[in-house]
Structure 1
Amino acid sequence: MAICRSGLFHLLVALVLSNTIATSNANVEGDALFALRRAVKDPQGVLQSWDPTLVDPCTWFHVTCDADNRVTRLDLGNGKLSGNLVPELGKIERLQYLELYMNNLAGQIPKELGQLKSLVSLDLYHNNLTGPIPPSLSRLSNLKFLRLNGNKLTGKIPRELTKLGNLKILDVSNNDLCGTIPTAGSFSKFSEESFMNNPRLEGPELMGFVRYDVGDCK
């Protein structure tokens, strides 16, 4: 009987710990998403269901979760959102799809997005994002789609991004990037369409040769 009671006790402890961890993860991810809601203007009310008093963000519209109630997808494309991205997004550990394209988002891309090790698709195209492309995105080893086109990004294309061996689609066109185009690693397979309409950007894909005397590039 003592053995049975001991086994039951350990089972109950395991269940309590499991529920505690699940609740903790939901709180962290819910807090991260609500930080985004606070940082943006939402004229169409697409984030209206994002209620911070609800423990589980999986009940919110435009949020998809897995069987463990962990957030895996955020679909907010073409939502007319304006404001800034927030570093808290980097805490959504199992996020695979971050879809924020065709909004009016401004400011810089948070370097914390490089913590999203499960990310498969990062779609931030057609916004008003400024500043550099964070080199930290090179940590996204599962990334297949990186679309940053149609923003106001500046600076060099980080050479670290050539380490993204799974990258299938890259589009950084229609920005204000400068310097030369990396050609190593995964970048060897991308055509000039991936880089076009960056007036200060030079490289073999666009010019037929590499220039090293590009001067200041910011």
Structure 2
Amino acid sequence: MEMGRINSLISTCALLWLILVLENVSIVYGNAEGDALYAFKKQLRDPNNVLQSWDPTLVNPCMWYHVTCNLDNSVTRIDLGSANLTGQLVSQLGQLRNLQYLELYNNNISGKIPQHLGNLTSLVSLDLFRNKLEGHIPKTLGKLQKLRNLDLSNNNLRGYVPNNGSFSLFTPISFANNPKLILPVVVPLPPAPAPAPAPLNS
């Protein structure tokens, strides 16, 4: 009987230990994403205080305004379009591995597009239009196989538009109004041969 109680106590302790470990893993994971977003905040000037709730002391950023998370408290969406933000993107954004929507359109964000955004393999939509981004478009964005909406128009990007990977899905509209950007040459398909005339019935 005493042995049964000991085994039961050991099982209970092991279960509690496992719960604590899993909670700590969740907290570390959440903090890593919060740290990445806070690094982004520190690079921005925010005259309208739209990022006022971005408090790095919280366990994770899921309670911040303009941030959406999944059931695992991992960031899936950032909505900061038309927020009057000035500053630069940061490489730490590439740590948001479950991010699906990055909406930063119609701001005054300048500098280069970090190649680390190519790590966002869950990304479906990347809207950076109407900013002041410059430099080349990173080829690493071609690795984003789930990306279905890319809009880099109305910036100051230069060089050639990459043609690798997911770039084949996008039309020139995604890159319009970047005066120094060279779009890929689209070779028109040859016309289909005309069908042979039907034989006349005698």
**One-letter code aligned to 1:164:** S
Q: What's the TM-score, normalizing by structure 2?
A: 0.84
C-alpha distance in structure 2 between counterparts of 1:165 and 1:90, whole Å: 19
The structural deviation recorded for 1:168 is: 6.6
Q: How has the CA–CA distance of structure 1 residues 8 and 167 changed in structure 2, closer, same or farther, with 3 Å as cutoff?
A: farther
Q: Does 1:204 align with 2:180?
A: no
Deviation at 1:138, TM superposition (A): 1.2
Q: What pairs up with 1:150-189 in 2 under 5 angstroms?
A: 150-160=154-164, 163-164=165-166, 167=169, 171-175=174-178, 176-178=180-182, 181=184
Percent of counterpart pairs with the same letter?
A: 45
Tell me the distance in 1 between the aligned counterparts of 2:186 and 2:147. Answer: 25
SS of 2:31 mapped into structure 1: helix
2:112 and 2:56 map into 1 onto residues whose CA distance is: 25
1:204 is displaced (CA, Å) by 3.2
RMSD over aligned Cα atoms: 2.0
Going from structure 1 to structure 2, the CA distance change for 1:168 and 1:156 (only over 3 Å counts) comes to: closer
Correspondent of 1:66 among 65, 70, 74: 70
Residues 142 and 166 in structure 1, CA contact (< 8 A), matched pair in contact too: no
TM-aligned CA distance change 1:166 to 1:74, over 3 Å = farther
What's the secondary structure of 2:158's corresponding residue? strand
Alignment of 1:1-218 (within 5 A): 1=4, 2-160=6-164, 163-164=165-166, 167=169, 171-175=174-178, 176-178=180-182, 181=184, 203-204=185-186
CA contact (8 A) 2:98 2:123 kept: yes
Deviations along 1:23-63, one digit per CA (max 9) or x if unpaired, are: 00111111111111100100111001111122221111000
Question: SS of 1:204's equivalent?
Answer: coil
**4+ long deviations beyond 4 Å:** 165-170
Q: Distance between the aligned counterparts of 2:62 and 2:72, measured in 1?
A: 10
Distance 2:69 2:34 in 1: 12
SS at match of 2:76: strand
Whole-Å separation in 2 of the counterparts to 1:125 and 1:112:
19
Scaled by the length of structure 1, the TM-score of the pair is 0.79
- Partners of 2:85 and 2:108 within 8 A in 1: yes
Shift in CA distance, 23/133, structure 1 to aligned 2, threshold 3 Å: same
Corresponding letter in the other structure for 2:47: P
Total equivalences in the alignment: 183
Task: Structure 1: give runs of 5+ residues left out of the alignment.
Answer: 182-202, 210-218
The structure with the larger Rg is: 2
> Following the alignment from structure 1 to structure 2, what is the Cα–Cα distance between the partners of residues 156 and 168?
14
CA distance in 2: counterparts of 1:166 and 1:145, whole angstroms: 12
The answer to whether the 8 Å contact 2:126/2:151 transfers is: yes
SS at match of 2:47: coil
Give the secondary structure class of the aligned counterpart of 1:164.
helix
